[in-house]
Amino acid sequence: MKWYQTRDQDKIKTDMAKNEFEASIYSMRDWLREDENMPYVGDAIRDAYIEKLAEWEDWLYEDGAFQNYSVYDKMLKNMTKDLN
């Protein structure tokens, strides 16, 4: 019984971490594309970040589709560290 509880908790954590990573990709992409943020980010840097976000999104739906929550947390930390 404990094994099932642990499995269920891991599934919930994984779903939450995956959703947070995905939402962060969309949020950051939207922020980068807003006209009012253009003075803070140059065109070349903005384009490079948007491309990197697209790579992370592709990874999420392909190779990263069935990872566990620790992988998604690590990816989110890397993304926010790079983009901050």
The pLDDT value recorded for residue 84 is: 66
Is residue 29 within 8 A of residue 50, CB to CB? The reply is yes
Could you tell me the residue ranges of all domains in the chain?
2-83
Neighbours of 7 (CB within 10 A): 10
CATH number of 2-83: 1.20.1270.10
The pLDDT value recorded for residue 41 is: 86
The pLDDT value recorded for residue 80 is: 85
The pLDDT value recorded for residue 2 is: 85
pLDDT tens per residue, the chain (84 residues)? 888 899 889 999 999 999 999 999 999 999 999 989 888 888 898 999 999 999 999 999 999 989 999 999 999 998 888 666
Q: Find the DSSP H helices in the chain.
A: 2-33, 43-61, 69-83
